[in-house]
Amino acid sequence: MSHDAEVAAVQAWIEEHHDDLLRDTRAMLQIPSLEEDALPNAPFGQANRDALDLMLKWADESGMTTTDLEGFCGFAEFGSGPAMVMSLGHLDVVPVGPGWKHEPFGAEVDGGYIYARGASDDKGPTMAFFYAARAVQAVLGDPGVRVRSVFGCNEESGFKCVERYMQTEESPTIGVAPDAGWPCIHGEKGIADFVIERPMPHGAITLLSMEGGQRPNIVIDSCRAVCAIDPAYRATMEGFIADSWDRNLSFSWEGDHLTIEAVGKAAHGSYPFGGDNAAIRIFRFLKEAAPLEQEHDLDSLHEVTHIGGNGIGIAGSDEASGALTCNLGIVRTTEDDRLQLTLNVRYPVTWDGDELKAKVEAKLLTLPDRYWLEHFRDSKPLYFPLDHPLVKTICEVHHAETGETKAPGTMGGGTYARAVPNCVAIGTGWAGDGPAHETDERMKIDHLFKMARIYGHLLVKMCRVAKTMV
């Protein structure tokens, strides 16, 4: 069979099994695989265990060899040889929330769409790639490489599934995670959390407490601070409050204690300029209201929270992925009278996290009062040059199947691809599908079939490329 004939035969098999793909996708979507309390052999709850069991059952019935990693994740494999091609999909979903028109786990078909939590992120794409793997197995038998389909159960809340995989299992020669934009994401920015502490500001304005935010990667949408105001400065402070232009701040007095409450707008931490940080509003007011002797200190506190990283000495960009972003995700007061700021930084793909950490520590030494880095966590960037064989193959297949000439992208978010070597995230869905994580998530049935067709073509080509890389 010629190379082009192999692709055509794989795609013909997928077309012949459209009804099966739709049936199985709906069955998977009907499992409410939300993270729940751990059970024996089900670290993310029974529903995730049920979804994984069903996936492995289908793979067993297809003649693949299956492995269950204590319920963290599982994988199915066929083929032989030193090279291995991998797909990484996830079966867990985010919470549902109110306002659905359709039953969130009903997998109802309406107007040519399947409605369900997980339809676009990520059960629909995972099922499409699984059927592509089944097609390659049915048509080519042993393609001369091992084809491994990994099914994770904790992508939405921690990546513990792929962390468990990497403890004992083999990395692929090349692999893809169907969970991003077309044709692929060749760069995912580094993600670092900087937990910075300092003594509470003292003076005519003494910060007693400040609390806001729940997670580092979400813009703070509400925040509350309590300050002790020196009686000699109270009249001046009341003047600043009366003249305050910020209508998102409210003020109340209890003796000489001033409570400031701020309202902002939440957004993803990789896109801090898409939100409105309530804590930064409070810092800005305190800076504007500061007496001369505290002006430098409170100005630096406000600057530390700059969304471009300017205040901690790491502003910058690269050509491949653009500018660094810095999100103040949590602010709180510790029991020993310290102010703690958690900054979630998405840094360019060609940068190094350890060098970034050193720059932050050096910058903190120059600030007034005393700042220090209490904790640092780093997830290294993912970056594949545009001429990498995997990236080139994905782009060629996408162009052949859609007629579109579209460049790979980069992003500040993270997928499974950053957790497993030699992988990139690839496209899923088209206009009308999704929106992921929102109400009435959906996938157009024709798009499900179209994805499977593209994935089938891609998998054939990936098998050929992988043979040349070992």
Cβ atoms within 10 Å of 101's Cβ, excluding its own: 10
**Residues with Cβ within 8 Å of residue 180, at least 6 apart in sequence:** 409, 411, 415, 417, 425, 426, 427, 428
Pairing of strands 372-379, 108-110: unpaired
Burial code (b: 16+ CB inside 10 Å, e: under 16) for 354-367 equals eebbebbbebbeeb
Instruction: Give how far Cα 135 sits from Cα of 9, 15, 338, 405, 456, Å.
Output: 8, 10, 59, 27, 7
Question: Could you tell me the two tokens for 417?
Answer: 């691809």
Phi, psi of 157 (to 5 degrees): -145, 40
Q: Which of 77, 92, 156, 276 is catalytic?
A: 92
**What DSSP string describes 341-381?**
EEEEEEE-TTS-HHHHHHHHHHHHTTSSS--EEEEEEEE--
Instruction: Round to whole Å and give the CA distance between 141 and 139.
Output: 6
The answer to whether 340 and 196 have CB atoms below 8 angstroms apart is: yes
Q: Is 92 a catalytic residue?
A: yes
The answer to whether 324 and 192 have CB atoms below 8 angstroms apart is: no
What's the longest Cα–Cα distance across the chain?
A: 90
Question: Could you tell me the two tokens for 74?
Answer: 């599982």
CA-nearest of 406, 433, 394 to 176 is 394
Question: Could you tell me the two tokens for 333?
Answer: 């007061």
Query: Position 103: which residue type?
Result: E
Phi, psi of 392 (to 5 degrees): -60, -40
**Residues with Cβ within 8 Å of residue 73, at least 6 apart in sequence:** 52, 150, 151, 152, 153, 154, 161, 162, 164, 165
Instruction: Round to whole Å and give the CA distance between 116 and 105.
Output: 5
**Residues with Cβ within 8 Å of residue 198, at least 6 apart in sequence:** 301, 338, 339, 369, 370, 371, 372
Q: Which of 77, 121, 122, 155 is catalytic?
A: 155
Q: Which residues are catalytic?
A: 92, 155
